[in-house]
Amino acid sequence: MGRVSGAPIIKSVNPFTKALASRLRSRRLKAFIARWDALEALVVRVYRSGVATPEDERQFVALKAWLVRHYPEWQTPLEPHWRAALRAGQPCADDPFRYVLAATRAATFCGSWAHMQALPAAREALNRLILDESASQ
């Protein structure tokens, strides 16, 4: 596991994103992707298990703090992509990244289908941003 700005870089859990990101030069975007992947994995794990462990809560606090601090750099470039994505079969009406990051605790994701529905829109936006960034390198 590598480090960027003192924080560990977690390998992408999404194979398509991993393949797309392999072409990226931006360490900052790679760091954002790694943290988002870790948060997405946590949301899915907590949703499926129906319980947030103390470790889930600790991990959520750390990931949320990092993502909230760094999301503003990517918010504007991601916006046209999430606006073009579908959420629950409808065009996104709000930012799926902000929606997930608005949770106050990992336990918020227990049984939260709304949070699960936000993840594919965020993933699609992230993948499209990676394609844009790769094309402009």
Confidence class for position 126, pLDDT limits 50, 70, 90:
very high
Domain that holds residue 89: 28-132
Provide the number of structural domains found in the chain.
1
- Asked whether residue 61 is assigned to any structural domain, the reply reads yes
**Is 18 a member of any domain?**
no
Reported as a single tens digit per residue, the pLDDT across 67-101 is 999 999 999 999 999 999 999 889 999 999 999 99
In a domain, 6, yes or no: no
Whether 108 is in a domain gets the answer: yes
Residue 21 lies in a domain: no
Do the domain assignments include residue 44?
yes
Amino acid residing at 10: I
Once rounded to an integer, what is the mean pLDDT over residues 24-33? 87
What's the mean pLDDT when you consider all of the chain? 88
Q: How far is CA 116 from CA 1, 60, 66, 83, 113, in A?
A: 27, 16, 21, 17, 5
With respect to residue 49, please indicate whether it lies within any of the assigned structural domains.
Answer: yes
pTM of the model: 0.86
User: In b/e form, how buried is each residue of 55-79, taking b as 16+ CB within 10 angstroms?
Assistant: ebeebbeebbebbeebbeebeeebe
Residue 2 covered by a domain: no
Q: Count the Cβ atoms, other than its own, within 10 Å of residue 8.
A: 13
Whether residue 10 is predicted with pLDDT greater than 50 in this model: the reply is: no
